[in-house]
């Protein structure tokens, strides 16, 4: 089974209540070959919610307690993001999922780059908290630009 970021298959789970529909990925769900997942919702975050960025590093650093996830109003939402990533990993393991296609640039899902933590639209190399947890558990992560099925 393949897991795909829910926002990529048209579910309105993004912080702004929108989605980032990718029709090719949605067709995998429609054919029963993949299922959607949204770690931030699993972590108890609401729709809509404040946008958040990783400050002081990337997802690996958050897992090492060396960086935090802060929303645009300055609230520390690290625990919610970690909880969601742990719950999503658990689902992934129970489903024996070997392939994940996750949204780029997200503080949770991204596997290439993330926003800088300065809330000015700039990005930096690094990965999100869920992607980091998956990689630590030996699970391959793709995004919507580089996936292979
Ligand atoms: Fe949810 Fe990941 Fe999409 Fe963010 S990028 S809305 S955490 S599925």
The per-residue pLDDT for range 87-123, each reduced to its tens digit, is: 999 999 999 998 999 999 999 999 999 999 999 999 9
Q: How far is the CA of 38 from the centre of ligand 1 (A)?
A: 5
Q: How far is the CA of 66 from the centre of ligand 1 (A)?
A: 23
E strand residue ranges, 1-149: 2-5, 34-37, 52-55, 68-71, 99-102, 113-115, 123-125, 140-143
Residues with CB under 6 A from ligand 1: 5-7, 13-14, 38-40, 103, 106, 108-109
**DSSP helix/strand/coil, 116:** coil
* Distance between first and last Cα of the chain: 11
What digits encode the pLDDT tens for the residues 18-56? 999 999 999 999 999 999 999 999 999 999 999 999 999
pTM: 0.97
Give the mutation target among 2, 18, 39, 44 for probing the ligand 1 site: most ligand atoms within 8 A of CB. 39
Angle between helices 129-136 and 78-94 (to 10 degrees): 40
Count the Cβ atoms, other than its own, within 10 Å of residue 144.
18
**DSSP helix/strand/coil, 4:** strand
DSSP letter (8 states) at residue 9: G
């Amino acid at each position: 089974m393949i897991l795909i970021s829910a926002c990529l298959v048209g579910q309105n789970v993004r912080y702004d209540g929108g989605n980032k529909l990718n029709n090719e990925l949605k067709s995998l769900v429609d054919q029963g070959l993949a299922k959607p997942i949204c770690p931030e919702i699993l972590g108890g975050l609401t729709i809509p919610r404040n946008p958040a960025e990783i400050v002081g590093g990337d997802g690996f650093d958050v897992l090492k307690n060396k960086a935090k996830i802060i929303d645009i109003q300055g609230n520390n939402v690290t625990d919610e993001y970690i909880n969601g990533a742990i719950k999503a990993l658990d689902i992934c393991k129970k489903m024996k999922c070997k392939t994940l296609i996750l949204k780029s640039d997200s503080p949770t899902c991204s596997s290439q780059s993330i926003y800088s933590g300065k809330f000015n639209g700039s990005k930096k190399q690094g990965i999100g908290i869920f992607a980091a947890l998956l990689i630590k558990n030996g699970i391959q992560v793709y995004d919507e630009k580089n996936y292979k099925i």
